[in-house]
Chains A and B, each alone.
Chain A
């Protein structure tokens, strides 16, 4: 319909310093990240303690992103709970979850309303355990995750941290490594597991949403899919050789807990996207475990370098803006550096001075901010334009307005299907990102070329 196709509009706007107003945010709230983390635990029902709108919203967002069913229950607050407290609703919710959805684990996160009124969630769970309402075969862990603190990345980190602090134990050394993979896609997790298998490394990945959020179509629905980190695996995390944190912002706090509690050392690495980030990951794995880097991976690396050389002319010296969750932005900045793409902006909405320091050191000339939003980027593009964008779906409006190619990476991706299944980590994943980078630029070039400059050989 013609009317729908129109709809371009440029607003007449003034550039001003903003102190109070956020426009087009680069983050969402803690409860979403908390539920994400719970989904990566085997047979875990995520429960959101607070008003039900929060649950409805985050389920909508996660469902749209993964295109999979996202089970999550809620305490369904009404006025009575915010006046008299929500503990009664929490107890009722737990009873119903146990009898209707029969999970092995319940991961409870909180929302603004529950936190503002100050419900005691861990206390309530303890009480229900002592009274025998929650039996020993159901595990429960809880985290405080109001939206007015941090972001969805913080919520993820808090929930993973709680799982570790609640379940990890000290036993005999298991010879394994722990991996905290942050907010990677199911396709990415599959690729990481493939690499570990090739290297012959036993690992505990927490959380692991592969085989949960990429379950095959069989004609049957399972509330709990076969994937996810099991409680016994989490218990065993205290006995591992080391923890590898992929993405500082989503994973360092849980790793720190393991170190404090059980003296498991940790290494913080960028997400293994881009050849040098993957190199760091593979070499670190080899260093920690003493396993050699197999020729299979070296060959994959070689093919990747070959591909990068074949296509380098298409991206070299392009100017880019990168935005999204902090860990993926950091990794993509590294990837861009590998290719010779100049990053002018690296922006996220999850505040971290440590992250800013790290990214600034990688791209000293870029504008780097962890307290930013997409309106800021828009204002800057007016002054100092770029050639391409790396980021989530929310960037498509800028891509349209400034006529730029957008490479969709990170969260959320709401306007393209199937991307969750294709890894961008590891050498093979990076190769696919390289393919997308070069060919997206070529598609763009073709679309812009007048007929006489439309060339067959590129």
Chain B
């Protein structure tokens, strides 16, 4: 804890008190039941208290939430970016349609591999299929897809009606595998399962581990093989990170799942370490891979310069190899030198600007690091679909009560099937050397400043009231609320998709991000909102 003089302490205390009163006021204006529920989702960081937050519970009906569904988490987020799987949505047209090129998980075609992700494949279920069952149509669609596109792998994703009418998609997939001789994977990610897209992440992880990871062998393993988890290559993020890792001496076996191929995922169990970006969307797979194959994982963050450096150094600590240590420092030095003048320019223009972050299940944490690097401050941060461990750290997991919606999500545990990659002693040593990140995640809240506000499952009302009260310089969120901020005169950038920009990762990405912050905040058009004759 840093020492503060008395006056600062007073000011700090007043900020905590002020913001506590603010969130009271905002939630008091709800109907009683809603108010009681919402109060458990808003916390003002106050180190003098033991603080908890409620998360991953059902959204209150009628509240304008940003949350999506299980299908969005499974097909949209986790599997969608795999470029050579033919992703077939089994259901009415809407679900497949809305996930058609609407997420910026960029992927590059590769010689000798299929490339399907610019297309939308759907069984386009009709009323008669809902009445008489959709299995015949699903089988027919798989067969046609096979005949036209010759995929090596087809992924089937279930939508709401599929589970309700009881189509057995696993049986259809099995039959197709036998008859066509291709791999057909399934995810029963009906949209009503769970309380947000988070359920879909969980279900997708189950498919990854049950049907894919460990099914192919890595022919030429090296000492420095790693996987990148929870990286979907939004705006090309992984294309900035991979070259740095390669320069240091690592080989990336697979990325889950940005710009990835099925074969990469199938071989991931042979890597020596998995680094994990988005904890929320895929930590299930890391846990299961460790159990089953003994691949340890390290929580990293390469959004932000300071955190990128920390992550690279922690990786080096894990591999504990002179060549890796040396190259890590060399890369850091080179990159810092390259970006410094440009970063300094933007830092000057952005100094002291205040941001509200509401995004995802990990990004609201990651981007705080980056904002700090460019001289900005996060005054409110919230996740859309996170669990308590994303806020409070994995240490809270044993205390999380099982909610009804968890029961429908199968949780698998495994006995080790291979020799562990490292002896137990090394794992324990790493845990003590890097307690926050090695096979652990310390959550977002511990990193936040005293007096800042944490909000789970933000909604329209709270957004509007917070903007009025706190007057942020920028609101970083998604497309659905973007124009709320804009109309209120608050600049915004989408942190789900980076609008039409990016990459924002590592060193060069930080400059891109700073450039976009400058563009959003210092845009001359803001001056024109009030007509001159009214000024």
Query: Which residues of A are in contact with B by a Cβ distance under 8 Å?
Result: 1, 3-4, 6-9, 11-16, 18-25, 27-32, 47, 50-54, 56-61, 63-64, 67-82, 89-90, 92-97, 99-101, 111-113, 116-117, 146-149, 151, 215, 217-223, 349, 375, 394, 397, 414
Contacts of B125 in A (CB 8 A): 147-148
Structural contact, B92 and A147, CB atoms closer than 8 A: yes
Chain B proximity of A239: nearest CB distance (Å): 35
Residue of B nearest to A155 (CB): B94
Most chain-A Cβ atoms within 10 A of its Cβ — which of B60, B191, B236? B191
Chain B proximity of A440: nearest CB distance (Å): 21
Complex Cα distance A420/B68, Å?
27
Which residue of A53, A67, A94, A146 contacts B69 across the interface (Cβ within 8 Å)? A53
Given contacts A28-B98, A52-B65, contact A1 B160 (CB under 8 A): no
Complex Cα distance A25/B96, Å?
9
Q: Is B66 an interface residue (CB 8 A)?
A: yes
Structural contact, A90 and B61, CB atoms closer than 8 A: yes
Q: Is B106 an interface residue (CB 8 A)?
A: yes
Contacts of B93 in A (CB 8 A): 22, 25, 27-29, 147, 151, 349
Complex Cα distance A59/B102, Å?
12
Chain B proximity of A13: nearest CB distance (Å): 5
Q: Is B479 an interface residue (CB 8 A)?
A: yes
4 pairs of A and B residues whose beta carbons are closest in the complex: A53-B69, A29-B94, A93-B62, A20-B140
Structural contact, B59 and A52, CB atoms closer than 8 A: yes
Chain A proximity of B28: nearest CB distance (Å): 12
Which residue of B70, B479, B489 contacts A53 across the interface (Cβ within 8 Å)? B70
Chain B proximity of A394: nearest CB distance (Å): 7
Residue of A nearest to B118 (CB): A397
Given contacts A51-B192, A63-B479, contact A76 B60 (CB under 8 A): yes
Query: Which residues of B are in contact with A by a Cβ distance under 8 Å?
Result: 30-31, 34, 58-72, 88, 91-102, 106-109, 114-116, 118-127, 129-130, 137-141, 143-145, 147-150, 159-161, 163-165, 191-197, 236, 239, 404-405, 408, 460-461, 464, 479-484, 486-489, 503, 529-530
Complex Cα distance A287/B139, Å?
55
Structural contact, B480 and A112, CB atoms closer than 8 A: no
Structural contact, A29 and B97, CB atoms closer than 8 A: yes
Complex Cα distance A123/B149, Å?
48
Structural contact, A11 and B481, CB atoms closer than 8 A: no
Which residue of A16, A29, A99 contacts B31 across the interface (Cβ within 8 Å)? A99
Given contacts A54-B191, A71-B64, contact A23 B461 (CB under 8 A): no
Structural contact, A56 and B61, CB atoms closer than 8 A: no
Contacts of B59 in A (CB 8 A): 52, 74, 76
Chain B proximity of A369: nearest CB distance (Å): 14
Contacts of B122 in A (CB 8 A): 21-23, 25
Complex Cα distance A50/B116, Å?
31
Structural contact, A51 and B63, CB atoms closer than 8 A: no
Chain A proximity of B459: nearest CB distance (Å): 9
Structural contact, A75 and B61, CB atoms closer than 8 A: yes
Structural contact, B193 and A116, CB atoms closer than 8 A: no
Structural contact, B121 and A21, CB atoms closer than 8 A: yes
Given contacts A20-B140, A21-B140, A148-B125, contact A61 B161 (CB under 8 A): no
Structural contact, B239 and A28, CB atoms closer than 8 A: no
Given contacts A22-B122, A24-B120, A25-B97, contact A116 B192 (CB under 8 A): no
Structural contact, B34 and A71, CB atoms closer than 8 A: no
Contacts of A147 in B (CB 8 A): 91-95, 125
Given contacts A13-B149, A74-B61, A221-B464, contact A51 B69 (CB under 8 A): yes
Between A and B, 28 residue pairs with Cβ closer than 8 Å are: A4-B106, A7-B107, A11-B114, A14-B150, A15-B148, A19-B144, A22-B121, A31-B94, A51-B160, A52-B69, A52-B196, A56-B66, A67-B483, A74-B65, A76-B61, A77-B191, A78-B195, A79-B192, A82-B164, A96-B60, A100-B31, A100-B461, A116-B161, A116-B165, A147-B92, A148-B126, A220-B487, A223-B460
Contacts of B72 in A (CB 8 A): 53, 56-57
Contacts of B62 in A (CB 8 A): 47, 73-75, 92-97, 100
Complex Cα distance A71/B405, Å?
27
Chain A proximity of B82: nearest CB distance (Å): 15
Which residue of B124, B150, B195, B481 contacts A25 across the interface (Cβ within 8 Å)? B124
Structural contact, B119 and A96, CB atoms closer than 8 A: no
Complex Cα distance A220/B140, Å?
52
Residue of B nearest to A396 (CB): B101
Structural contact, B109 and A7, CB atoms closer than 8 A: yes
Residue of A nearest to B485 (CB): A221
Structural contact, B144 and A11, CB atoms closer than 8 A: no
Complex Cα distance A80/B404, Å?
8
Structural contact, B140 and A19, CB atoms closer than 8 A: yes
Structural contact, B100 and A394, CB atoms closer than 8 A: yes
Structural contact, B487 and A69, CB atoms closer than 8 A: yes
Complex Cα distance A58/B196, Å?
16
Residue of A nearest to B467 (CB): A221
Which residue of A25, A57, A94 contacts B68 across the interface (Cβ within 8 Å)? A57
Residue of A nearest to B164 (CB): A116
Chain A proximity of B116: nearest CB distance (Å): 8
Contacts of B488 in A (CB 8 A): 219-221
Given contacts A20-B123, A74-B65, A221-B487, 14 further A-B contacts (CB under 8 A): A4-B236, A8-B109, A11-B114, A22-B121, A25-B97, A47-B62, A57-B99, A67-B483, A71-B460, A73-B63, A93-B61, A96-B62, A147-B92, A222-B487
Structural contact, B480 and A89, CB atoms closer than 8 A: no
Structural contact, B98 and A57, CB atoms closer than 8 A: yes
Residue of A nearest to B126 (CB): A148
Structural contact, A24 and B119, CB atoms closer than 8 A: yes
Chain B proximity of A130: nearest CB distance (Å): 20
Complex Cα distance A243/B397, Å?
62
Most chain-A Cβ atoms within 10 A of its Cβ — which of B62, B108, B150, B196? B62
Complex Cα distance A52/B480, Å?
14
Contacts of A54 in B (CB 8 A): 69, 94, 191
Contacts of B486 in A (CB 8 A): 217
Complex Cα distance A1/B498, Å?
15
Structural contact, A1 and B503, CB atoms closer than 8 A: yes
Residue of A nearest to B134 (CB): A148
Structural contact, B58 and A101, CB atoms closer than 8 A: no
Structural contact, B92 and A146, CB atoms closer than 8 A: yes
Complex Cα distance A309/B161, Å?
54
Structural contact, A111 and B160, CB atoms closer than 8 A: yes
Structural contact, B61 and A149, CB atoms closer than 8 A: no
Chain B proximity of A225: nearest CB distance (Å): 10
Contacts of B408 in A (CB 8 A): 79
Complex Cα distance A397/B124, Å?
21
Complex Cα distance A148/B159, Å?
11
Residue of B nearest to A20 (CB): B140
Which residue of A63, A73, A117, A223 contacts B482 across the interface (Cβ within 8 Å)? A63
Contacts of B61 in A (CB 8 A): 74-76, 89-90, 92-93, 96
Contacts of A11 in B (CB 8 A): 114-116, 149
Chain A proximity of B381: nearest CB distance (Å): 21
Complex Cα distance A401/B164, Å?
40
Contacts of A7 in B (CB 8 A): 106-109
Complex Cα distance A18/B123, Å?
11
Structural contact, A53 and B71, CB atoms closer than 8 A: yes
Contacts of A111 in B (CB 8 A): 160
Chain B proximity of A32: nearest CB distance (Å): 7
Given contacts A25-B124, A90-B61, A92-B60, contact A113 B191 (CB under 8 A): yes
Contacts of B60 in A (CB 8 A): 76, 92, 96
Structural contact, B127 and A100, CB atoms closer than 8 A: no
Chain A proximity of B469: nearest CB distance (Å): 14
Complex Cα distance A12/B115, Å?
10
Residue of B nearest to A378 (CB): B119
Which residue of B30, B108, B192 contacts A113 across the interface (Cβ within 8 Å)? B192
Structural contact, B164 and A217, CB atoms closer than 8 A: no
Structural contact, A9 and B115, CB atoms closer than 8 A: yes
Contacts of A80 in B (CB 8 A): 404
Complex Cα distance A394/B196, Å?
28
Complex Cα distance A63/B497, Å?
14
Structural contact, B106 and A56, CB atoms closer than 8 A: no
